[in-house]
Amino acid sequence: MKSFYITTPIYYVNDRPHIGHAYTTIAADVLARWKRMQGEKVFFLTGTDEHGSKIAQASLQAGITPEAYATRTAEEFKSLWKLLNISNDDFIRTTETRHIKTVQAILTRLYDQGEIYKGFYEDWYCVACESFWLENQLKGAASSGWQCPECARPVEKLKEESYFFKLSKYGDRLLQHYKENPDFLSPYHRAQEMIQFVRQGLKDLSVSRLKEKWGIPVPFALGHTAYVWFDALINYLSATHYELKSLAGIEDQASPQISSSNFKFEETWPCDIHFVGKEIFRFHTVIWPAMLMALGLPLPKKVFAHGWWTVEGDKMSKSKGNIVDPVEVCKEFGADSFRYFLLREMPFGADGDFSKIALLKRYNFELANDLGNLFSRILTLIEKNFSGVIRKMPKGFFMPLILEKNKKITESFEKSAFQEVLEDGLSVAREANRYLEVNAPWKLVKTNPELCESVLAETLIVLRWLSALYHPFMPELSQRMWQQLGELSKLEEVAMKVFREPIATYSPGTRIQKQEILFPRKA
């Protein structure tokens, strides 16, 4: 069975992880969990990008070797993913043997095929973005100093012997591919920019460096290392063990998190979706597919570029000292609430702003009031008045609404429209709160206890459905919701059935297990 293969970018290890990295990884985790809920086999990959001048410079400043520096930061990423309950199946580091060997095999193959040739490089380079620019693309002026159009830092002129990948010959095929596969460039509003970029004509890409020592040695060119982006993009293939089997004598070093036989190239490729930030869309939709075309491999089905977070209106940066540490946010709000907030606050694909006030608002109004309060009202009523057991079978008052939402939600997940999914979930919770107001079971229990029990039975169906829906977003808290409903199973194993048929999975007479409040209000 082909696995649903989903990736995040592999993050540079020159800096500690921040909310931007957490965002992409959480989004990928939500989609991976949703796919697993649907019974699909999922291969969810993340990792770290560890070569290149940026990292070499950072390690020099820290006074340790690039290897030690990379290991230290890679561990920070891994421990953050653990804290955030990220369910990645593998974590790839570009300094691992499995990756280095794949990059070398690919370089050699493309060189032998004549796709890579020796030339001479002279252009502007931004170390921070590890990107080349033509003079007419730069900001600033020759007199005051040229700057990178992406990050506005000074650029430097590189002039050296280099090996080039024949990117220029793939322009027409790329345009054809975009046309025939309208989902490839997602979301739609970002497609035009890429099409224009390719239409302007592509230049061959320098894929080797003479000056950079911290990189993967190019097997056929002594003293050259692979350009860090050429190296990095290949991670999506090395994690599938592509090429490894053809390299005699190379030990297949899978990450300890999976056995090396778990995810084979044939079961994973082509990748279903690459999640990336908008600033690296071009690398993933121009260079990467051209590399794959040169290798004769099918292209990923979709590259989805999400937007950027600012912090209280400002771009996040070290110099401004406004980098938000996800560990700190989790300490205060818990990992699940943080996950919820990031996907709720802005549409996946647009830009948004992170602020403590916005987080506090979403937490108190949506999680504590609408959701937490709904659980606590219903469970308290059942515990107080029915000794924790509802014996009536619900009639399915909420089912038409739930079925309508299910259709919409399933479509939203297909579009990675996580904010819409959460909006729909919330609207059902609000509807259930209104139903309680209208029926007032706290009064009804005195006048008509039977009817009161029926009313509560209906609302239990909503609580079951909400637990299932929130599983991909809030894996821990949704399990607690599920337990409070008296269920002993692992929610992730039954979530899809509960989501689709919350009534069919319900047995009247189950004793609820009210526990401490799910979302205590915060000041």
Pair 210, 162: CB distance under 8 Å: yes
What's the min distance (Å) between Cβ of 449 and ligand ME8? 53
Identify the residue among 4, 5, 12, 397 touching ligand ME8 (CB under 6 A). Answer: 12
Of positions 10, 342, 474, 512, contacts ligand ME8 by CB under 6 A: 10
Please tell me the distance from the alpha carbon of residue 478 to that of residue 425, in angstroms, as a whole number: 13
Rank residues 100 and 468 by Cβ distance to ligand ME8 and give the closer one.
100
- β-pairing, 4-12 with 273-277? parallel
Measured from the CB of residue 19, what is the shortest distance to ligand ME8 in angstroms?
A: 7
In the complex with ligand ME8, which residue's Cβ is closer, 130 or 424? Answer: 130
Q: How far is the CB of 31 from ligand ME8 (least distance, A)?
A: 14
Handedness of CA 54, 58, 59, 60 (dihedral sign): positive
Contact 152, 126 (CB under 8 A): no
Give 3-state DSSP helix, strand, coil % of the chain, rounded to 5.
Answer: 50, 15, 35
Binder of ligand ME8 out of 42, 70, 216, 280 (CB under 6 A): 280
434-463 mask for ligand ME8 (x: CB under 6 A)? ------------------------------
Among 220, 265, 308, 435, binds ligand ME8 (CB under 6 A): 308
128 binds ligand ME8 (CB under 6 A): no
Q: Which stretch binds ligand ME8 (CB under 6 A): 16-24, 76-84, 104-112, 447-455?
A: 16-24
Contact call for residue 316 and ligand ME8 (CB under 6 A): yes
Of 233 and 390, the one with the shorter C-beta distance to ligand ME8 is 233
For residue 270, give the amino acid letter: P
Asked if residue 346 binds ligand ME8 (CB under 6 A), the reply is no
Of 257 and 317, CB closest to ligand ME8? 317
Q: What does the buried/exposed string (b/e) look like for 263-290 if buried means 16 or more CB atoms within 10 Å of the residue's CB?
A: beeeebbebbbbbbbbebbbbbbbbbbb
Residue 10 Cβ vs ligand ME8, minimum distance, rounded to whole Å: 5
Q: How many residues does the chain have?
A: 523
Report the candidate in 111, 110, 91 with the shortest Cα–Cα distance to residue 99: 91
Q: Answer yes or no whether residue 277 interacts with ligand ME8 by CB under 6 A.
A: yes
CB of 277 to ligand ME8, least distance (A): 2
Site for ligand ME8 in 213-242 (CB under 6 A): 232-233, 235
Q: Got the DSSP string for 74-96?
A: HHHHHHHHHHTT---SEEEETTS
- Give yes or no for residue 133 binding ligand ME8 (CB under 6 A): no
Is 20 a binding residue for ligand ME8 by CB under 6 A? The answer is yes
DSSP 8-state assignment for residue 137: G
| Residue 301 near residue 184, CB atoms below 8 Å | yes
CA distance readout (Å), 154 to 3, 128, 146: 43, 9, 6
Tell me how many residues contact ligand ME8 (CB under 6 A).
Answer: 19
- Select from 155, 276, 374, 491 the one that contacts ligand ME8 (CB under 6 A): 276
Torsion of CA 144, 145, 150, 152, to 10 degrees: -60
**347 is an interface residue for ligand ME8 by CB under 6 A:** no
Query: Is 13 or 503 the residue whose CB approaches ligand ME8 more closely?
Result: 13
Interface with ligand ME8 includes 375 (CB under 6 A)? no
366 interacts with ligand ME8 by CB under 6 A: no
Q: What is the number of the residue whose Cβ is closest to ligand ME8?
A: 20
**Quick one: which of 4, 5, 23, 164 contacts ligand ME8 (CB under 6 A)?**
23
Name residue 160's beta-bridge partners.
121
Q: Find the binder of ligand ME8 among 4, 5, 11, 230 (CB under 6 A).
A: 11
What's the closest the beta carbon of residue 84 comes to ligand ME8, in angstroms?
14
In this chain, which stretch among 19-27, 96-104, 342-350, 506-514 interacts with ligand ME8, using CB under 6 A? Answer: 19-27
SS3 of 165-217: the string is ECHHHHHHHHHHHHHHCCCCEECHHHHHHHHHHHHCCCCCEECEECCCCCCCE
Q: Give the span between the Cα atoms of 63 and 65, in whole angstroms.
A: 7
CA distances from 11 to 58, 258, 492 (A): 15, 20, 28
Q: Does an H or E element contain 352, and which?
A: strand 352-354
Return the residues of window 390-419 that contact ligand ME8 according to CB under 6 A. none
Whether residue 148 contacts residue 133, with contact meaning beta carbons closer than 8 Å, is answered with: yes
The CA distance from 204 to 199, in Å, is 14
Binding mask 40-59 for ligand ME8 (x = CB under 6 A): ---------x----------
State the DSSP string of 406-431: HHHHHHHHHTT-HHHHHHHHHHHHHH
Q: Is 309 in the site for ligand ME8 (CB under 6 A)?
A: yes
Using CB under 6 A as the binding rule, whether residue 178 contacts ligand ME8 is answered as no
Residues with Cβ within 8 Å of 51's Cβ and at least 6 positions away in sequence, in order, are: 94, 95, 214, 215, 216, 225, 226, 228, 231, 232
The kind and range of the H/E element at 482 are helix 475-484
Strand-strand pairing, 185-186 and 303-306: parallel
The residue within the footprint of ligand ME8, chosen from 3, 24, 102, 373 (CB under 6 A), is 24
Of 3-11, 190-198, 412-420, 512-520, which part binds ligand ME8 (CB under 6 A)?
A: 3-11
9 binds ligand ME8 (CB under 6 A): yes
We find the least distance from the C-beta atom of residue 13 to ligand ME8, in angstroms, to be 8
Write out the residues near ligand ME8 by the rule CB under 6 A.
Answer: 9-12, 20-21, 23-24, 49, 232-233, 235, 276-277, 279-280, 308-309, 316
